[in-house]
Amino acid sequence: MTQYKEDTVIRTVLEIINENGLEGIGEAVSILINEAMKVESSSALNARPWERTEDRAG
């Protein structure tokens, strides 16, 4: 994940919490978990979702 993507996700999460307070925590956590799953998936496959490489594990 690039620095730009990380900044965008964190900024989005903070905006949701700032706008909605505790009501927005669920949505914010959902976004963070989805991003964590994307990183974990890429790590397990040895490739990003759009990459097709010889090293790709799935």
Per-residue confidence (pLDDT) for residue 39, from 0 to 100: 80
For residue 1, pLDDT over 50 is answered with no
- The number of domains in the chain is 1
**Domain containing 11: what range?**
3-45
Q: Is residue 8 part of a domain?
A: yes
Q: Is residue 16 part of a domain?
A: yes
Q: Is residue 20 part of a domain?
A: yes
Q: Is residue 24 part of a domain?
A: yes
Residue of 41, 35, 40 lying closest to 11 (CA atoms): 35
Render 5-19 in DSSP notation, one character per residue: HHHHHHHHHHHHHHH
Q: Is residue 51 part of a domain?
A: no
pLDDT, tens digit, for every residue of 26-51? 999 999 999 998 888 777 677 666 66
Q: Is residue 33 part of a domain?
A: yes
